[in-house]
């Protein structure tokens, strides 16, 4: 039996985690804390495990956002709600959404959470700030919140590894987005707008990549496609240091259970396509 690949694991965990970015009920829960608009809830919600940090830490660890994006909402967000309250609200809202879209999620969570906890127990967190801070929040008592929590830990572990791969490739945040889009990823305008880069900044990043022979007027060059493949393969290899720890049959069972929850999220239409995460649609 071929074990699930690191990319297959990502396709299973990302929809479960990402309900917090798309579901109206999750967004309303963050607004209920007094936050003003999507981005205050996004940055405060994802950064809450760090404590009441400012925009510099968030820009560095989230990587591909224009610095002004986080600076507009942090540290102001902490004047509306503490990091602990933000984290609890985010977790509760995610579990509520998962219960709504998947009537079987309670049973699934009780079966999956022990395996996910064993999977991530003892995983080194050196060099993985978002993973380390998120895991340090501890497993919630509620089983569906715990399912979302461990999927989020896996997601942030992969994300930290992805940032390491991008920086090793000599790409800054805007350049990484330009290459992603040019290599067949989400539309450039979607990435540029969602991450806060101006048209001029985007064009300048394109020029820098062109000087390296990575893009041209038609998109990514052969060298650019090869670099993009290397980034993704390295990201998968780094993520596989965790997902590869599960014995074959146990890993397959755990993965299939996560896929069932992810499929329910997709079927409910919670996730928008295309999206800045690059998560492919159900087809």
CA atoms within 13 A on the CB side of 147: 34
Encode pLDDT of 90-102 as tens digits.
999 999 999 999 9
Nearest-10 crossing angle of helices 105-120, 83-101: 130
- What band does 35 get if pLDDT is binned at 50, 70 and 90? very high
Encode pLDDT of 190-209 as tens digits.
999 999 999 999 999 999 99
To the question of pTM greater than 0.95 for the whole model, the response is yes
Q: Mean per-residue pLDDT for 39-50?
A: 98
Q: How far apart are the C-alpha atoms of 167 and 143, rounded to whole Å?
A: 36
Contact between 276 and 190 (Cβ < 8 Å): yes
Contact between 18 and 277 (Cβ < 8 Å): yes
Domain boundaries of the chain, sorted by first residue: 6-20+105-267
Q: How far apart are the C-alpha atoms of 84 and 256, rounded to whole Å?
A: 32
């Amino acid at each position: 039996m071929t074990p699930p690949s690191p990319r297959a694991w990502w396709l299973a965990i990302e929809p479960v985690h990402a309900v917090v970015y798309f579901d109206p009920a999750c967004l309303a829960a963050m607004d209920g804390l007094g936050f003003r608009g999507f981005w205050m809830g996004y940055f405060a919600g994802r950064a809450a495990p760090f404590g009441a940090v400012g925009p510099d830490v968030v820009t560095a660890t989230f990587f591909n956002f224009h610095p002004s994006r986080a600076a507009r909402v942090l540290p102001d967000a902490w004047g509306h709600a503490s990091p602990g309250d933000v984290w609890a609200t985010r977790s509760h809202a995610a579990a509520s959404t998962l219960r709504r879209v998947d009537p079987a999620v309670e049973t699934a969570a009780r079966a999956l959470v022990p395996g996910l906890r064993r999977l991530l127990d003892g995983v080194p967190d050196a060099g993985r700030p978002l993973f380390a801070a998120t895991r340090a929040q501890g497993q919630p008592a509620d089983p569906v919140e715990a399912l979302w929590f461990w999927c989020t830990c896996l997601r942030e572990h992969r994300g930290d590894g992805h940032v390491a791969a991008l920086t090793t490739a000599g790409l800054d945040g805007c350049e990484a987005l330009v290459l992603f889009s040019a290599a067949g990823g989400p539309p450039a305008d979607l990435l540029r707008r969602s991450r806060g880069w101006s048209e001029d900044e985007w064009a300048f990043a394109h020029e820098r990549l062109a000087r390296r022979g990575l893009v041209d007027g038609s998109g990514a060059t052969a060298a650019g496609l090869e670099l993009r493949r290397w980034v993704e393969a390295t990201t998968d290899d780094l993520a596989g240091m965790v997902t590869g720890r599960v014995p074959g049959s146990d890993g397959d069972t755990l993965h299939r259970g996560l896929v069932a929850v992810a499929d329910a999220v997709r079927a409910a239409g919670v996730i928008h396509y295309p999206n800045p995460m690059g998560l492919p649609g159900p087809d």
